[in-house]
Amino acid sequence: MAIERAMKNLFFILLIGLLTSCTTVHYRSSGKMEVTLAARDKHTHRAEAEGHKEFYLWGKIPVEDHVVYLDQELWNQGLVSAASLNIVEYQSVTDMVISWLSLGMYIPIRYKIIAYGIKSSETEFD
């Protein structure tokens, strides 16, 4: 009887944790450069930036680390202005299996930022 009650309590705690979890990545700009969603003239250089964020305990930890600054990611790719922004957020098969096996205790989220822009003359090597 005590084991059944403990299992019920554990089930409800897990259920509450899952229902209040948050595995959202916030994509923002820090103002370092101009980033627009629409296409623009002279924005012809294609740039891609990839990364991942790791969520623990159903997305509860760490709280402040779920932000990706688009302009900084694209600046690191050599752009000084970006347009035609496209963001793809995904999980690989391995990521999904790990998430399921850990019951949501560890959830990796991957992202890819694709944009066309103007490349800085100082960073252009080709």
* Dist. CA 3–CA 96, nearest whole Å: 31
Domain assignment of residue 32, yes or no: yes
pLDDT exceeds 50 at position 101: yes
In the structure encoding, which two tokens stand for residue 55, read together? 């969520």
pLDDT for the residue 122: 46
CA angle in degrees (0–180, nearest 5) for 85-87-90: 165
Domain assignment of residue 124, yes or no: no
Domain assignment of residue 3, yes or no: no
Which residue in 27, 42, 19, 120 sits closest to 73, CA to CA? 27
Tell me how many domains the chain contains. Answer: 1
Which residue in 72, 73, 82, 87 sits closest to 43, CA to CA? 82
Name the pTM for this structure: 0.77
User: Could you read off the pLDDT of 46-97 as tens digits, one per residue?
Assistant: 999 999 999 988 787 776 678 999 999 999 999 999 999 999 999 999 999 9
pLDDT for the residue 125: 41
What lies within 8 Å, CB to CB, of 26 at 6+ separation is: 66, 67, 68
Cite the DSSP H helix spans in 1-126: 2-19, 70-75, 93-101
User: Could you read off the pLDDT of 7-41 as tens digits, one per residue?
Assistant: 888 777 776 666 666 788 999 999 889 999 999 99
Domain assignment of residue 11, yes or no: no
pLDDT for the residue 20: 63
Domain assignment of residue 5, yes or no: no
Which residue in 77, 75, 52, 76 sits closest to 65, CA to CA? 52
Looking up residue 94, the CATH number of its domain turns out to be 3.30.110
